[in-house]
A and B are shown apart, each in its own frame.
Chain A
């Protein structure tokens, strides 16, 4: 009963390095999401995918790229990491339209020095 699995759980990068955060869900959900969580700002949507092969920008997409590899997997890539991208990143999934609840992974804590 894994739900949404994120890897890695922790990562430290140097400015300018690249990295891909991985997310997989086993609930056969159509929609997947990437958020970042910063103190006092709640969760902000970076990108989301309504179905396999489609992606769309959220509120804060700059500096990120995503890939919906298949129905299960949705990855987030930082091409050239910046200190402003230090955050906790959450992946979530939902069944799709009609406002089905989102299910969250445990997060990736990313520090960029």
Chain B
């Protein structure tokens, strides 16, 4: 069965520091992969997606993610975090040719000045 694991429940970084949020998936073929961000009291907003091609994907707000098939990972990165990046981040996998997503349990990011 397909699944998504986000090993870190809560991460704290200082403003200006680099960030990497981990995501591992379990799926028999190459999946469609997504990262979403949820600010407090809001719905989820798409940051970026990977369907095929270049394994390094650029998203909005300066985020990027790298698909590594050998590690079944799709980690989210940002070189310099801003206080406004404090939010909860969700990784999701979409099995091929379906319109459903499987979400991880999320990572809450806290940013200190």
- Given A43-B90, A106-B41, A106-B43, A100:B99 Cβ within 8 A: yes
Contact between chains at A99 and B51 (CB < 8 Å): yes
Q: Assign chain B's interface to a size class.
A: 20 to 34
Contact between chains at B32 and A99 (CB < 8 Å): yes
Q: Which residues of A contact B44 (CB under 8 A)?
A: 43, 90, 92, 102, 104
- Given A106-B42, A106-B43, A45:B100 Cβ within 8 A: yes
- Per the CB 8 Å criterion, the residue count for chain A at the interface is 28
Given contacts A42-B105, A45-B100, 4 further A-B contacts (CB under 8 A): A58-B100, A98-B97, A99-B94, A102-B46
Judged by a CB distance under 8 angstroms, whether A53 is at the interface is: no
- Given A104-B43, A107-B43, A42:B104 Cβ within 8 A: yes
Contact between chains at B105 and A48 (CB < 8 Å): no
